Amino acid sequence: MISYEKLWQTMSKKGVTQYTLIKKYNISPAQITRLKRNESVSTHTIEMFCKILSCNVEDVMQYIEDDEI
């Protein structure tokens, strides 16, 4: 499973809120919901978050073995 828990941690460290993503960067609320639910998103979406947050992919997502859940 891919977890986006690191995304929320990185956003908190950088002072970026969900409201900022929606209003300033035009990120769809539906896209944010998909990330909250750890659902599939495109690599384009991951790239956008990396650009917005000036971070690496590993600061946004993490692979977790199913048996670790």
Which CATH number covers residue 53?
A: 1.10.260.40
Count other Cβ atoms within 10 Å, centred on residue 39: 11
Average pLDDT per consecutive 10 residues, the chain (69 residues; last block may be shorter): 96 97 96 95 95 97 82
| Domains contained in the chain, number | 1
> For residue 24, which phi and psi values (nearest 5 degrees)?
-85, -40
For residue 12, what pLDDT is reported?
97
pTM for the whole thing? 0.86
Q: What percent of the chain has pLDDT over 70?
A: 97
Average pLDDT across the chain, whole number = 94
Could you list the residue range(s) of the whole structural domain that residue 29 is in?
2-68
For residue 47, what pLDDT is reported?
96
